[in-house]
Amino acid sequence: MGWIGIRGPAERRFRRSADPATPGAVLTRGTLRIEATALPGAVPQNLVRYATRDPRPAGVTLVLDVDGTLRLLMRRGDRTLAAAVPTGLTDSPECAILSYAWDGPARHGALTVWLPDRRILHHSHIGSPLEPSLQDARRMACGTDRITVAPSVGLMTLSDATEPAGPLPGIAAGALVETATGPRPIETLRPGDIVRTQDGGDAQIRWQGSVCLPARGRLAPMVLRAPYHGLTRDLVVTGDQRVALAGSEVEYLFGEERVAVAARHLLGRHSAEPVTPVSPLMTWHQILLDRHEVMIVNGAPVESLDARAVLTDPAVLPASVLRDMPAELRPRDTRLALPVLQGYEAVTLQSVALG
């Protein structure tokens, strides 16, 4: 089924029912995903704490320690689990995507921390994961009296599948990518196809994929409006999808002909605005090229998938969207096509561009 639970500031959903014949049924596979603005403090912080004794003792706690270590503590009946992963968080608040994914029958799981602004993925393998019950999962998504969620947590979602961590696709279906044979919808492209790049060259597709994600929080959709950025038609993306910018302001401020910027930093300009999703879930697409490149999508310069975080660390590949990609197709060149602006740099550029 995929994503079955969403808990946000004004929303609580759960769409799976336990089998009446097995009231103690567990989620044998699944993912707990939390989006938080994280900042280690002087004392450990409970980001999420769920505890119950009905019908038997159970609990899930995610704690951010003072040294930035994320700790997961779980209990279901007589079974317990303790896992930890360093986050690399510093003394400045930043977005962190925290995921616990488990596959009970296969006896493996993972605790991950994805820092999207710095494109860093921290990972800890779990050999014997603990599966929550369906009842506990429902209570975590919709309950009020057994769970405490810190104000820094903006979104909590639950899936009954092992969802990927790290860099994710961020382009909506129907987007037209310029290829050697002309514009083609991104969802129709396949490994081996040739894509035209912004500088007039060619790049080969090594991977094409999609993922269904909650259309909330960091993954809420936004639209880049035509004719800005060279667009011939509107383009729907996630806020983390990067586009290329050029012009006199870019050269003046950064000494570069072109830079890349996350689409979220374009909000507030005429060229970009948020979109109200028609469904709590959306499917996003992307392609990985033989090298990181700027391709042409709906006429605009848009980056291909930046997978450095997983391509440079084989240990995290099984937790990513590239987990089924044949090893012989993985790009060896993981350099970025363009310098990437940080949030404060994008704000500076926007203020100069707007006068």
Rounded average pLDDT over 288-296: 97
Rounded average pLDDT over 69-97: 92
3-class DSSP assignment, residue 310: helix
User: By CB neighbour count within 10 A (0-12 exposed, 13-18 middle, 19+ buried), where does 94 fall?
Assistant: middle
Cis peptide before 221 (omega within 30 of 0): no
pLDDT tens-digit map of 151-209: 999 999 999 999 999 999 999 999 999 999 999 999 999 999 999 999 999 999 999 99
Q: Do residues 238 and 321 make contact, with C-beta atoms less than 8 angstroms apart? A: no
Mean pLDDT of the chain: 92
**Distance (Å, whole) CA 83 – CA 112:** 10
Region of 146 please: left (phi>0), alpha (psi -120 to 50) or beta: alpha
Q: Do residues 186 and 236 make contact, with C-beta atoms less than 8 angstroms apart? A: no
- At residue 112's C-alpha, the angle toward residues 159 and 144, to 5°, is 50
Q: Residue 279's pLDDT band (boundaries 50, 70, 90)?
A: confident
Confidence (pLDDT) at 165 = 96
Taking only Cα atoms into account, the Rg of the chain, rounded to an integer number of angstroms, comes to 21
Amino acid at site 83: A
Q: Is the pLDDT of residue 339 over 60?
A: yes
How far from chain centre, in Å, is Cα 155? 12
Rounded average pLDDT over 65-91: 92
Q: In percent, how much of the chain has pLDDT > 90?
A: 77
From the list 318, 273, 305, 7, the residue with the least C-alpha distance to 168 is 305
Task: Report the first-to-last Cα separation within the chain, whole angstroms.
Answer: 49
Confidence (pLDDT) at 18 = 52
Region of 4 please: left (phi>0), alpha (psi -120 to 50) or beta: alpha
pLDDT tens-digit map of 301-336: 999 999 999 999 989 999 999 999 999 999 998 899
Q: Residue 354's pLDDT band (boundaries 50, 70, 90)?
A: very low
pLDDT tens-digit map of 92-106: 889 999 999 999 999
b/e map 281-294, b = 16+ CB within 10 Å? ebebbbbbbbbbbb
If one compares 309 and 41, the residue with the highest pLDDT of the two is 309
Beta-strand ranges (E) seen in 87-119 are 94-103, 108-115
Torsion over CA: 129, 14, 281, 70 (sign): negative
Q: Is the pLDDT of residue 352 over 70?
A: no
From the list 351, 118, 337, the residue with the least C-alpha distance to 252 is 351
Q: Do residues 286 and 209 make contact, with C-beta atoms less than 8 angstroms apart? A: yes
Q: Residue 355's pLDDT band (boundaries 50, 70, 90)?
A: very low
Lowest mean pLDDT segment, chosen from 20-24, 82-86, 282-286, 299-303: 20-24
